[in-house]
Amino acid sequence: MASLLTWWNTDIFGRDRYCGDALSSSQVDAVLAGSGRLRQQSSKQKPFSAFQCKLKRTSKFIDYPQPSVEISTEFMSGTNPFQSHVWQDRERVSYMREGLAGGASSHRAWLLVPSTCWKKIPAEADFVPFFTATVIDGKARPDALMRLTYRAAQRALEDEGCEAGEALAKRASKSVALTEAERGRTDVKNACGTPDFILPSDALPGRTKPGSERVTKPVASTAWTCDLYLEGEVGPSLSLSVSSHQDVIAAAAKQEGSATWRSAKLVRCDQGDMYLGLWPHDSYLDLHIDEYKRSGKEFSRVFDEILASLAKSKMKSRHWSGCSIGRS
């Protein structure tokens, strides 16, 4: 009986590799931590565009948690991780410090496939390939979930004959470090800890006042984000994103001018390019809609002014010149 209980409630004598040998048991265990056995519920490695693998922690005991994780290829707009409801678990999102562009929370992770590989992977005109991971009925350490996504992408890209897969393998040990975040009060003349980033007066509709902010560190990572909380709000009201990563720029450029391109700018300077995005959370958008009904102020113009102010402050802090700012 003891041996049966051990079999049911541990991973002893379990598999060493999962998802077509892409992932080790220790990497999966770090995401689906706890009691029970690891089981691969489904797996498909080829073609790359249909990569999918679902793993689950199972147990015979009642009330034991049985979390699962699904890793898959997903095609979406290049700015989706910064501007969509799906990825707005903002209070705990961290981003890759270097290497590929990616981010993770305790429930989701995304990794942007390198732009050098896009020609090998068929996709719709404005969409680009990502690797994503989602934890169901549980949560994981963001760094563990990011590493799992990274390893799956590495193996799949190698199988696809993309040189980026080999490059990932060489720098894997140092390229899964994630950003940290700091919280503090918002200074409207130096918002998001950025000198001279001034919030326009119309950015605070009605009688709202600036409250606190959450800013990722360091600034020189694959992505930088700032979540602004209005006074008294529990969740973020307005989220801002900036990236100079070459793949994020390439993904945004594919999307620029399409129907899904809104509240975003591409800044092109002599020293490099920069993507800036704005995401108004529902409570903040509702305030602007109410203000529009009262005064006729177009909130899209307000969002454009916020992005323009952020762009100018970022260009100044980087000492960039010869810049042109694209339209939102």
Q: What is the pLDDT of residue 297?
A: 72
Q: What is the mean pLDDT of residues 275-283?
A: 92
Instruction: Please say if the pLDDT value at position 10 is more than 70.
Output: no
**Phi and psi based region of residue 137 (left: phi greater than 0; alpha: psi -120 to 50; beta: remaining):** left
Q: What is the pLDDT of residue 91?
A: 60
Average pLDDT across the chain, whole number: 85
Q: What is the pLDDT of residue 207?
A: 80
Q: What is the pLDDT of residue 277?
A: 95
Comparing 279 with 11, which gets the higher pLDDT? 279
Q: What is the pLDDT of residue 159?
A: 80
Q: Residue 76 class from Cβ within 10 Å (0-12 exposed, 13-18 middle, 19+ buried)? A: buried
pLDDT tens digits, one per residue of 220-269: 899 999 999 988 777 778 999 999 999 999 999 998 877 778 899 999 99
Task: Give the residue among 253, 264, 259, 256 at the shortest CA–CA distance from 303.
Answer: 264
CA 3 and chain centroid, separation: 43
Provide the pLDDT confidence category of residue 8 given band limits of 50, 70 and 90: low
Q: What is the pLDDT of residue 242?
A: 96
Provide the pLDDT confidence category of residue 312 given band limits of 50, 70 and 90: very high
Q: What is the pLDDT of residue 4?
A: 46
Q: What is the pLDDT of residue 51?
A: 86
Q: What is the pLDDT of residue 136?
A: 93
Q: What is the pLDDT of residue 239?
A: 93
- Spell out a b/e string for 84-119, using b for 16 or more CB atoms within 10 Å of the CB, else e: eeebbebeebbbbbebbbbbbbbbbbbbbbbbebbe
Q: What is the pLDDT of residue 37?
A: 83
Provide the pLDDT confidence category of residue 294 given band limits of 50, 70 and 90: confident
pLDDT tens digits, one per residue of 20-29: 888 988 899 9
Comparing 191 with 44, which gets the higher pLDDT? 191
pLDDT tens digits, one per residue of 138-163: 999 999 999 999 988 888 888 877 87
pLDDT tens digits, one per residue of 46-96: 777 778 999 998 876 556 678 999 999 999 999 999 988 777 665 678 999
**What SS3 state is found at 32?**
coil
